[in-house]
Chain A
Amino acid sequence: MAGFKIEKTLGVGVFLLVWEITARSKLLFHLGIIQMEKLAFPPTLSSVGEAFYLDLLNGTMVLSIGYSMIHLLIGLTGAVLLGIPLGILIGWSKRAECIIDPVVQILRPIPPLAWIPIAIIMLGLTHQAAGSIIFIGAFFPIVVNSYSGVRGTDLRLVEVAKTFGAKDMQILTRVVLPYATPMVTAGIRISLGVGWMCVVAAEMFGVSKYGLGWMVPYYSSIFMYNYVFAYMLTLGLIGYMMDTLFRRFESWKLRWRETI
């Protein structure tokens, strides 16, 4: 959306203004929503900025980001390496679909977070355990999308390949896979988003005692809401940046596509 600069700044500006007024006037306390007078909720914008700055300086912020990224990487890599081949397999082979798909469909609706107790039992409170929750979350979108990508192959292109003498394996690698790439990439992008949300949730439950998701309940337990908000903001920003970067990569990779 180009233009509309006034409207954009106005919207955000009003929001921030209302926030600051609510914070400084202790409005929520006076309204009876918050019981303790000394409680700094919502924290003023300046205190959030201060928290952000301080934790950045002492390295906690960077460390937390690092750990969250590691958890994400573990889970996402596993999901991609396992999910894409599996999705392609059940898309390509009817027999494989009938054997594997029912199991997938049963497991898929289980929320990733429900797996936390199992992850803790099997892997302890480790980075791998956190990664495994992300894996569960990221796995299914990738499988489903890879499957759809393969099933949706334009049969005409398969025929073209056949008239050039292509046999099954060649048709798979030279027609079906390239054709499915947009769908697979979309699946990875979805998994990126879901995976990031799982990162926070997994860390909140203390699966691993580090990371951005751990910081939120920690600071909340000692009533330092300015830090809570600072970390929430960071979570949002990082998630946004990753998605944007991935979309750029996607646009470049799929530049051959004719789009609406």
Chain B
Amino acid sequence: MSLIVREGEFLCLVGPSGCGKTTLLRLVAGLIKPTSGEIFLDGRKIEGPDRDRGFVFQEYALFPWLTVKKNIEFGLEISSIERTKREAIAQKYIDLVELRGFEDRFPKELSGGMKQRVGIARAFANDPKLLLMDEPFGSLDAQTRNLMQGELLRIWEKEHKTVLFVTHSVDEAVYLADRVVVLSARPAKVKEVVKVGLARPRVRTSPEANRIRDMILKSLGAEIERAMK
């Protein structure tokens, strides 16, 4: 499989269950090594995990012993950024994800949506070149999910990081992405790349959005059936 991601674009990956979307993301993150082939970021080969590729997990994976503020500062502490600067950056992102007032709470005191906001703030605060997101809203209820999508776009539009976003939901992909990559059933190949040229903020039910969604669903549907066999 071969794929090129452009700088500053929001790319969504959709595909049937088990096709390897998460595996692909983890390969880019450097958490697993490819058995064949190579991945490059800005011309340099990826050998392992590093801070230029941030990751947001579906299960939040916050450090339970750290407060919201400390969680967000985590990456900055690793990079030895000095305290006043660290706190300023963290506060900026706390405000951005609208968690002001919760700085000193522990993850156990937060709702799912709030935890994921911390996870996103934590990843963004570290200023990676590439942001990898593995179904970050998968554990949330439908309402919170829609809200979070809007919030994510709001944050993203401030800095326009390159984002690789894996999701099961075609609705989500159409709402968020510049381009949607449809992956085939296992072993995953790039079946189709659909350009979503709509201006943001998008209307989920606009005729163009519907058209694009139907197109992707059809393409995806065929793969899901193949995966079932």
Contact = CB atoms under 8 A, between A and B. Distances in A.
A156 B31 CA distance: 11
Contacts of B79: 164-165
B64 A163 contact: no
Given A157-B63, A178-B63, A178-B65, A163 B31 contact: yes
A252 interface: no
Given A156-B59, A156-B61, A166 B78 contact: yes
Contacts of A164: 51, 54, 74-75, 78-79, 126
A51 B61 CA distance: 59
Nearest to A258: B108
Contacts of B175: none
Given A256-B106, A256-B108, A257-B108, A165 B78 contact: yes
A255 interface: yes
A161 to B, nearest CB: 7
Interface string A248-260: 0000000111100
A175 B54 CA distance: 17
Contacts, number: 64
A160 interface: yes
B65 A170 contact: no
A174 interface: yes
A118 B63 CA distance: 46
Interface in B65-96: 65-66, 74-75, 77-79
A159 interface: yes
B108 A163 contact: no
A181 interface: yes
Contacts of A257: 64-65, 108
A247 interface: no
Which of A159, A165, A175, A257 has most B Cβ within 10 Å?
A165
B78 A163 contact: no
Contacts of B55: 159-160, 163
A58 to B, nearest CB: 49
A214 B106 CA distance: 48
Interface string A147-170: 000000000110111111110001
Contacts of B126: 164
Contact of B78 (A174, A178, A179, A256): A174
Which of B29, B57, B63, B126 has most A Cβ within 10 Å?
B63
B121 to A, nearest CB: 13
A163 B65 contact: no
B213 interface: no
Contacts of B48: 162
A165 B74 CA distance: 10
A56 to B, nearest CB: 43
Interface string B30-46: 11000000000000000
Contact of A161 (B30, B59, B64, B78): B78
Given A175-B63, A178-B63, A178-B65, A165 B106 contact: no
Nearest to A167: B78
B63 A159 contact: no
B49 interface: yes
B53 interface: yes
Contacts of B50: 163, 165
A258 B50 CA distance: 30
Contacts of A258: 64, 108
Interface in A102-148: none
Contacts of A162: 30-31, 48-49
B63 A163 contact: no
Interface of B: 29-31, 48-51, 53-55, 57, 59, 61, 63-66, 74-75, 77-79, 106-108, 123, 126
Given A156-B61, A159-B61, A165-B75, 14 more contacts: A159-B31, A160-B61, A161-B78, A162-B48, A162-B49, A164-B54, A164-B75, A164-B79, A165-B50, A174-B77, A178-B63, A178-B66, A256-B107, A257-B108
12 contacts: A159-B55, A159-B61, A162-B31, A163-B123, A164-B51, A164-B75, A164-B79, A165-B49, A174-B77, A255-B106, A256-B106, A257-B65
Interface of A: 156-157, 159-166, 170, 174-175, 178-179, 181, 255-258
